[in-house]
Chain A
Amino acid sequence: MKYLAEFRDGEIAQRLAAEIRAITTRPWAIMEVCGGQTHSILRNGIDQLLPPEIELIHGPGCPVCVTPLDMIDKALAIAAIPNVIFTSFGDMLRVPGSDRDLFRVKSEGGDVRIVYSPLDAVQIARENPTKQVVFFGIGFETTAPANAMAVHVAKREGLTNFSMLVSHVLVPPAIDAIMSAPGNRVQAFLAAGHVCSVMGFWQYPPLAAKHHVPIVITGFEPLDVLEGIRRTVQCLERNEAKVDNAYARVVTFDGNAAAQALLEEVFAVTDRAWRGIGVIPASGWRLSAAYADYDAEHRFDVGAIRTTESAECRAGEVLQGAIKPSQCEAFGTRCTPRTPLGATMVSSEGACAAYFNYGRFHTLERASSATRDSNTSPKAATVG
């Protein structure tokens, strides 16, 4: 595919990695915010090409992972209501709620359907006027414009049988919270390229200045991630806490004005609980007053939701980069993709699932160890 294949070139990847090795003089801890970047890094083995001084800390940019538990439980309760068609992205189907997941609700008779686009859910509403169609509107700022358009179209057409269960989360407040947390080790960020394609990156200079961290807007293909890391290391080595756009073919400073305009109309900022992390003020979007009629939380009275999180799950620490998945006692034993204790083991971009699926509890060697001294790399995988 054009504009994809070129950014996966193996030889150039090797050269970028060599550049990074050449300019790195001391240890650096860099957080990639976006779960999609985590997935790309682990799936392609990008971290294996990096010098041992570079530690990649995987951030909480996995909307599936951070959707609050009570929101999952609400979704499950709504999906179980007869006469409801519950629509969702595929990612959410296996996320564990307090006692079950959407797959189980489906197997017990709930009408749960996977859609590719939120507009497909609107179409289902048009085609099923006697049913209530609910769409599970999760995601970061990348997905919010799509969800906004769906509910906007539904309102415009007066589709009163359509509603949305909204649980959006925002990146900049998360970065702020991570940098402000005691014990934080993150020294720089790879910002989420597609979030920034919507929002621009005007929100980042104040963050970079406040916390004195470089923030590099980074894409997802191997060359994009390596280039983002290269520029980040360059900033760190030069002690420059600046914002740099390494994904310029897609991201502009201002972002997408048309999308931001509709986001402004459809959503309102709210405090949001991030599963495993806790409440981050003003870190989420809910439907605005103008769209309250389409809010599934209001339309369906699912009663008091009492949530029970696994006592053993340490997803929160993983999401904040405090521990690696392989450092959790339950990892690979009591917690596996088959028997997940938390959302990070379910989502395709959850760090725990990625570590498990890409074998990071087996001892696969790091790249270019021939050029290093005998010090054990901090990234060498631990046996699970």
Chain B
Amino acid sequence: MAEPINTTWACPIPLRDYPSIVIGHGGGGQLGNELVEHLFKPAFANDELDRMADSAVLTLPAGRIAYSTDSFVVRPLEFPGGSIGALAVNGTVNDLAMSGATPLVLSAGFILEEGLPMATLGRIVTDMAAAAKAAGVRIVTGDTKVVERGHGDGCYINTSGIGVVRDGVQLSPTRATPGDVVIVSGTIGDHGMAIMSVREGLEFDTTIVSDCAPLNGLVDAMLAVTPDLHVLRDPTRGGLASTLNEIAGASGVGIVIREAALPVLPQVASACEILGMDPVFVANEGKLVAIVPPQHATAVLQAMRAHPLGSRAAIIGEVTSDHPGMLVAKTAIGAQRVIAMQLGEQLPRIC
């Protein structure tokens, strides 16, 4: 009999003698049940999940429902500052928060690759449980499938989430208005460069960690200042530049930012220099961009800075009626450049 998997959910009954995932774990039979009983249920710990019905049945507070889904395919599965598990929870929590919703419940669908070490899955699920707890959400329903070895990158996770939007909040990428102030909640590029630092062929030694975090608490603090924020977005894949381009396009406005005002950790800046990458295109997983009416900007900024996830919040620019649909940056030497959307993923370069 194999040693019990060393997990922090302290299940008294060890999983059967399978140190890694096999096809049977996705088959809906005993192996699959064991996974649920001894791994998912103890980790996610809530009554609705424990019912093990085909659907979670919920009574939601009154109000507009926000509903979001996201799939997570990151490699490597575990990286400095987080794992695919933390991303899977925080990513959907943040999508809900960006609509001004209080996140309530999540679903979690797993596609596991035959051969994934059970200990790895254990850590991922533990991360999800911790992230859910920190965000104040429950994972109330889920599913597990297993694909053959070689067909899956170890683990893919899909989460979807439901939240309730507060009254009076109308956040939309179409609401950016000339004169609005652009605020970013903290340093940019941390997550993407943390991933780069452990990517094969590009490794480097650093203390950069992913900024993966749930932003709903920060959003609460901002909305407490005023419900009349115009846009909230979390700049994940594609970075700050992609998000601002999307907002500019959706609202039919121009956005101007000052490069000197962008908060960037020195090590992230250095890592970008070495690889020839631009921090504005690098992914973030615990940051938001806010487009705020000018009369509220100072108060919102102060509220952000008072929150642990917004201590480095900064005003980086504003919305203009010039050059609609375009993001323009004032460079460090006082000139201008257009920051266009990248075609695909930013690649390291030598030239």
Contact = CB atoms under 8 A, between A and B. Distances in A.
Complex A–B touching at CB under 8 A: yes
Interface of A: 1, 4, 8, 10, 13-14, 35-36, 39, 42-46, 48-49, 62-64, 89-91, 93-94, 113-116, 120, 124, 139, 143, 222, 337-338, 347-349, 356-359, 362, 364, 367
Contacts of A62: 351
B273 A1 contact: yes
A43 B280 CA distance: 13
B333 A49 contact: yes
B337 A114 contact: no
Contact of A359 (B201, B273, B338, B350): B338
Contacts, number: 100
Interface in B310-341: 323, 326, 328, 331-338, 340
A302 B273 CA distance: 37
A35 B331 CA distance: 20
A58 to B, nearest CB: 13
A90 B335 contact: no
B347 interface: yes
Nearest to B274: A116
A55 to B, nearest CB: 17
Interface in B275-316: 275-276
13 contacts: A1-B273, A13-B333, A45-B337, A46-B335, A49-B333, A62-B351, A90-B347, A91-B347, A115-B202, A116-B348, A358-B337, A359-B328, A359-B338
Contacts of A43: 331, 337
Contacts of B200: 113
Nearest to B260: A10
Contacts of B266: 1
B2 interface: no
Contact of A90 (B323, B334, B350): B350
Contacts of B276: 348
B50 to A, nearest CB: 43
A313 B332 CA distance: 34
Interface string B250-271: 0000000000100000100110
A44 B201 contact: no
Contacts of B201: 113-116, 120, 124
B343 interface: yes
B151 interface: no
Contacts of B350: 89-91, 139, 143
B351 A114 contact: no
Contact of B269 (A1, A14, A115, A139): A1
Given A45-B337, A113-B200, A359-B338, 19 more contacts: A1-B270, A10-B260, A14-B334, A44-B331, A46-B335, A89-B350, A89-B351, A90-B349, A113-B201, A114-B347, A115-B201, A116-B275, A116-B348, A124-B201, A338-B343, A348-B349, A359-B326, A359-B340, A367-B334
Contact of B332 (A1, A36, A44): A44
A64 B347 CA distance: 14
Contacts of A93: 347
Contacts of A139: 350
A347 B276 CA distance: 12
Contacts of B273: 1, 4
Given A116-B275, A356-B340, A44 B333 contact: yes
Contacts of A91: 347, 349-351
B323 A362 contact: yes
A10 B332 contact: yes
B276 to A, nearest CB: 7
B237 to A, nearest CB: 17
A66 to B, nearest CB: 11
Given A4-B273, A356-B340, A36 B351 contact: yes
Given A114-B201, A115-B201, A348-B351, A367 B338 contact: no
Nearest to B340: A357
A143 B350 CA distance: 9
A46 B348 CA distance: 24
A42 B337 contact: yes
B335 to A, nearest CB: 2
Nearest to A8: B332
A42 B270 CA distance: 21
Nearest to B199: A114
Contact of B337 (A44, A49, A349): A44
Contact of A362 (B269, B326, B335, B347): B326
A182 B44 CA distance: 75
Nearest to B330: A45
B113 to A, nearest CB: 18
Contacts of B336: 45, 48, 364
